[in-house]
Amino acid sequence: MSEGKLSQAAAKAVRAQNLLDNELLAEAFKGLEDSYTAAWRATTIEDVSGREKLFLAINIVGKVRDHLTAVVNNGKLAAAELKQLAETAERKKRFGILT
């Protein structure tokens, strides 16, 4: 991956981590999950379609959170790769190795 893409991934990770750490967003996720779960449990035995939709809604909230976590983890890997590239370039410079 190019340095530019690695830098973008690292920057995205910081923004995603800020979202995950945001109290308002965490509260929104929790509120949605609780609301959907309560509505799911309140469905009647005949409301199969309603339960399925609520089940999907609950899972989508989790998938959004999982996506943000994946962005953070990918960004951490990108930052480590950038660090390694910088260290390699510094060693080459130090020992006069030109590419």
> 99 falls in which pLDDT band (50, 70, 90)?
low
What are the structural domain ranges in the chain? 3-94
pLDDT tens per residue, range 15-54:
999 999 999 999 999 999 999 999 999 999 999 999 999 9
Contact 78, 9 (CB under 8 A): yes
Q: Return the structure tokens found at 3.
A: 């340095």
Phi and psi dihedrals of 96, rounded to 5?
70, 25
Instruction: Assess contact for 68 and 39: CB atoms under 8 A.
Output: no
Q: What pTM value is reported for the model?
A: 0.80
Residue percentage of the chain with pLDDT more than 70: 97
What's the Cα-to-Cα distance from 42 to each of 14, 54, 57, rounded to whole Å? 39, 11, 15
